[in-house]
Structure 1
Amino acid sequence: MLLRKFIAILSFFAPRVVSTKKPEYQHLPPLREQAKIQDSWRQERLDSVPALLEKHGVDAWLLSQKEYAEDTAFWSMKQAVQFSARRRTTYIFFAEHLVESKNCTFQSWIDITPAVWTELEHVLEACNPKSIVVDTDPQIAFASGLHAGERDLIVGQLGPYWADKLVNKPIVPVEYIGTMPKSRLGWYRKIMETAWAIIDEGFSEKVITPGKTTTEDVEWWMRDKIQALNYTTWFQPAVSILGPQTVIGPPNTPGARPIAYGDLLHVDFGVTAMGLNTDTQHLAYVLPPGDKEKDIPQGIIDGLKAGNRLQDLTRANMKIGLSGNEILKNILDNVHAEGLEGQIYSHPIGDWGHAAGTLIGMAFLQDGVTVLGDLPLLKNMWYSVELYAEHYVPEKNATLNFFLEEDVYWHDEKESWEWVYGRQERFHLIKPKEKKGLFRIQG
């Protein structure tokens, strides 16, 4: 029995490349158990801060926020049972050399009286940091969470001596928020499998009746399914009927025509659970009566293959340490060298749907992204490989955009980005519903 359990654990954490089994719904544990799991991840992340500060050559990191006016980084530091900061919540972290030489450990206060500033000043005097990071970056959301009024109060309460030591170092909060503990991956795979399972059922004849069901109907079915599973989401599902040069935008407006036989469908979909977010884009084909998978027009099949090739080139060029803009240029050089066309707009994911870290392109910004695209790519992050391939489909005498998105994680042993759950290599199929026969009872 113990051997079987050990093998099962190893198989669960083994890397996966392409999912071949039918995805299944993964049910979440009771809330109390979820909180224990999330708090263990939290502690693992907080324990990493001294080394992070040492790595980036700063001595301390100060965060302070009032209830409902939280620093963005707070949401990656809070306990599972915290729903906001309380009163004034203040944290101070110290780099490894101060932890080791002066025993300057993490301190926190929940207080709305001036005593917090007196106690903080005593801690600073004992540790004497030469630089104190505060999250005041003007460009990067994850590094700009210190509210202006709170900063003014800190400067006024601590005085000019300590105010002169406050520095903006955006890579500190970006790397803290963006780095994923390895212990999170097992649950992330389960949550990702659930996202796939919802798409798989939503893009089937169980939900879609050609000539009747609209894209909006499918979107709301997905929302209801998410809620029924006790998950939530970070954006409204967006289902589209793909035509020539379709550009994916907000969810479809009411009144869209019903889905028809022969339609090529697209969904942009994500779920949220246990503080984790997924982001997936898949394609489906509505089989006309009498058709099988082999009857899908070859041009449409080739479009999906072109999208898969762009995924390969994106992963291969995601080199640790390069900026997102450098990676984007290398990807597109490879794409064009192979005679392919498309756009790359990949982003970090994890605590947030669009999480902290460098951007590898944005839609219609294929020459680079200012500021965010200049950040380095860091390992132990998760990324959404998001893109589309432009491919001419002879059967439709049109060029279609084949939108795909899958999440990846950094695999230390392989030194490569691997799919969290898998990637789409075959279309979801909406099959014609079989008509039930009529039987007559002979008297």
Structure 2
Amino acid sequence: MSQVEAAHPALPPLLTLRDRAAVEDALLTERLQTVVPRLMREEGIDMWVLVAREYLEDPVLATMLDAKSLRARRRTILVFFDPGEGRPVERLTVSRYGLPGMFEGAWKPEQQPDQWKALGDLIAAKNPKKIALNVSALTAFGDGLTVSQRDGLMAALPAPYRDRIVSGERLSVGWLESRIPAEMKLYPGVVRLAHAVLAEGLSGQVIKPGVTTTDDVAWYLRERLSRLGVATWFHPSVGVQRQGAKGMLDGDTVIQKGDLVWTDFGVTYLRLNTDTQHLAYVLKDGETEAPAGLRAGLAAANRVQDAVTASFKVGLSGNDILAAARAKAIAQGLDPSIYSHPLGYHGHGAGPAIGFWDNQNGDERGAAKVFAHTVWSIELTATHAVPEWDGQKVAFRTEEDAYFDGKEVRYLDGRQTELTLIR
């Protein structure tokens, strides 16, 4: 991990699909062996049942399929059971096609054709004290069990076990937000991939002032990833702020000399997601650097970043961190808007939010606690008056990816501290 971002990052080598699958399966195996048992024991839950149908995958179950199982098959049921006394957590699947190597098959349709009955029999045989199901009113990540599948499960569940049902919300969120050391050896390279493609898009190679539109740049980034065989979890956003113009200009806006170009961009690689916002300045004739006021605006955004990362502490809620970071930034005379979020298997990942752009006063979605070994998108805006633009207030939107190890927050591949210059 680097705290300094490379000015012209080179594109890292990319794995073949076959090699990516091997890496993804190795990571998944290690996570199943370590993360799930830890979470179940921390929460005092001895059985976790996940149910999904083809094309309607639970957000958690979808991340537990091996690299060749792109979808659930028919109905896929996964069962984790902790037998206690320090014995390994059992990984079982009540599914017609199974998941060999990851989950042990626990259903023989020729002996018991009814899949739900087979699940009920399995639960009765294991006799768990608590059965976690993915039902949550607060987060979609813990709410993957559909009504019809819950009804089928409950109908098949022997009566004595129905009172043992508990929410699997904390298991779901914990699974999705926790990063293991092997993933963290790879994550900086995933961010470097995003930074390298972004540097191409914010360059004279792509942007021709007076010709190129903001949509042209967005589609360049999307096409570039496609040619590399890399996915994006959202369509790139590109816009400009311009002296004398109000707000952000985007769509078919033609980029001109003197514009401040902004982009929001994310990639998905090895099942890990990035989320980055960078700023570039299109030099006017005779200029060799951006106006001092624009450079000061980015520096203000960096100071808000510092306020956010300095406020992280295990056990605090997202709302706590938001309030502390805003207090630090405002005390320095800054004008912050903070809306940072977890990152990992999903771009807007599982875990507590740290503000929203339209709510800086805390939110129920930010009430959960922050844990160590989690990755974050440090996303925010610092509004700053630019003297060279007649005092016009400009929004300096920044977003960088970082890892919280429980003690400090470190950027995965540095952060932007100087405006990219487009010549």
Give me the TM-score of the superposition, normalised by structure 2.
0.92
C-alpha separation in 2, matches of 1:92 and 1:26: 38
What number of residue pairs does the alignment pair up?
A: 406
- Deviation of 1:102 after TM superposition, in Å, equals 7.2
Match of 1:171 in 2: 170
1:340 has 2:325 as partner: no
Equivalent of 1:312, from 306, 312, 316?
306
Give the letter for the 2:179 counterpart.
Answer: M
Structure-to-structure mapping, 1:43-442, within 5 angstroms? 43-47=29-33, 48-95=35-82, 98-100=83-85, 105-111=90-96, 114-243=113-242, 252-253=250-251, 255-256=252-253, 258-293=254-289, 296-370=290-364, 372-396=365-389, 397-411=391-405, 415-431=407-423
- Deviation of 1:273 after TM superposition, in Å, equals 1.6
C-alpha separation in 1, matches of 2:301 and 2:88: 53
Do the aligned residues in 1 keep the contact of 2:352 with 2:368 (CA within 8 Å)?
Answer: yes
C-alpha spacing 1:348/1:102, structure 2 compared with 1 (3 Å): closer
- Deviation of 1:114 after TM superposition, in Å, equals 4.5
Do the aligned residues in 2 keep the contact of 1:410 with 1:416 (CA within 8 Å)?
Answer: yes
Do the aligned residues in 2 keep the contact of 1:50 with 1:94 (CA within 8 Å)?
Answer: no
Write out per-residue CA displacement over residues 236-268 of structure 1, whole angstroms, 9 at most, x where no aligned residue: 1111112479666xx933x32x11111111000
3-state SS of the aligned residue for 1:334? helix
Write out per-residue CA displacement over residues 335-378 of structure 1, whole angstroms, 9 at most, x where no aligned residue: 111111110000111111111001000111100112x2111111
C-alpha separation in 2, matches of 1:206 and 1:31: 29
C-alpha separation in 2, matches of 1:330 and 1:423: 22
C-alpha spacing 1:247/1:163, structure 2 compared with 1 (3 Å): farther
Which stretches in structure 2 are left out of the alignment for 5+ residues? 97-108
C-alpha spacing 1:102/1:38, structure 2 compared with 1 (3 Å): closer
- Deviation of 1:222 after TM superposition, in Å, equals 1.1
Do the aligned residues in 2 keep the contact of 1:104 with 1:127 (CA within 8 Å)?
Answer: no
3-state SS of the aligned residue for 2:379? strand
Do the aligned residues in 2 keep the contact of 1:245 with 1:399 (CA within 8 Å)?
Answer: no
C-alpha separation in 2, matches of 1:269 and 1:288: 26
3-state SS of the aligned residue for 2:418? coil
C-alpha separation in 2, matches of 1:86 and 1:93: 19
Give the letter for the 1:426 counterpart.
Answer: E
Write out per-residue CA displacement over residues 251-300 of structure 1, whole angstroms, 9 at most, x where no aligned residue: 933x32x111111110001111221111000000011112102xx21111
Write out per-residue CA displacement over residues 53-74 of structure 1, whole angstroms, 9 at most, x where no aligned residue: 1101222111112212221111
C-alpha spacing 1:308/1:104, structure 2 compared with 1 (3 Å): closer
- Deviation of 1:191 after TM superposition, in Å, equals 1.9
Give the letter for the 1:289 counterpart.
Answer: D
Give the letter for the 1:107 counterpart.
Answer: L
C-alpha spacing 1:247/1:124, structure 2 compared with 1 (3 Å): farther
C-alpha spacing 1:301/1:133, structure 2 compared with 1 (3 Å): same
C-alpha spacing 1:101/1:164, structure 2 compared with 1 (3 Å): same
3-state SS of the aligned residue for 2:232? coil
C-alpha spacing 1:424/1:246, structure 2 compared with 1 (3 Å): farther
Do the aligned residues in 2 keep the contact of 1:50 with 1:99 (CA within 8 Å)?
Answer: no
C-alpha separation in 1, matches of 2:271 and 2:168: 25
3-state SS of the aligned residue for 2:85? helix
CA RMSD, 1 decimal: 1.9
C-alpha separation in 2, matches of 1:342 and 1:245: 21
Further displaced range: 184-193 or 231-240: 184-193
- Deviation of 1:100 after TM superposition, in Å, equals 3.2
Quick one: percent identity of the two aligned structures? 37
C-alpha separation in 2, matches of 1:356 and 1:402: 26
